[in-house]
Amino acid sequence: MDNVVTRQRKPLSWKAERAYWKRGIYSIIGVDEAGRGPLAGPVVAAAVFFDYDKCQKFPKTLRDLNDSKQLNEEERKRFYGLILKHARAWGVGIVSREDIDRHNILQATMKAMTIAVDQTATKLAADGIIPEMLLVDGNYFRTTLPYEFQTLVHGDARSPLIAAASVLAKVTRDRIMVEFDKVYPQYNFKSNKGYGTLEHMRALEEHGPCPEHRRSFRPDRFTQEALAFDDIAK
Q: What is the pLDDT of residues 192-207, one digit of tens each?
A: 999 999 999 999 999 9
Phi, psi of 12 (to 5 degrees): -75, 155
What is the rounded average pLDDT of the residues 48-63? 96
* Contact criterion met (CB below 8 Å) for 195 and 3: yes
Q: Quick one: what percent of the chain has pLDDT higher than 70? A: 89
SS3 at position 137: strand
- Check residue 223 and give its pLDDT: 47
- DSSP codes, 141-193: ---SS---EEEETTGGGT-HHHHHHHHHHHHHHHHHHHHHHHH-GGG-HHHHT
Give pLDDT, residue 8. Answer: 62
- Segment 17-35, tens digit of pLDDT: 999 999 999 999 999 999 9
Q: What is the DSSP string of 61-72?
A: GGTT---GGGS-
Gap between the Cα atoms of 187 and 192, Å rounded = 8
pLDDT band, residue 231 (cuts 50/70/90): very low
- What is the spatial distance between Cα 106 and Cα 111, in angstroms, rounded to a whole number? 9
What is the pTM assigned to this prediction?
A: 0.90
CB distance 117 to 47 below 8 Å: yes
Q: What is the pLDDT of residue 218?
A: 63
**Residue 10, pLDDT score:** 78
Q: Domain map of the chain by residue range?
A: 15-182, 184-233
User: What local confidence, expressed as pLDDT, does residue 60 receive?
Assistant: 95
At 29 the three-state DSSP class reads strand
What average pLDDT does range 46-73 have in this prediction? 96
3-state secondary structure of 200: helix
We find that the CATH architecture of domain 15-182 is 2-Layer Sandwich (3.30)
Q: How far apart are CA 41 and CA 144, in angstroms?
A: 25
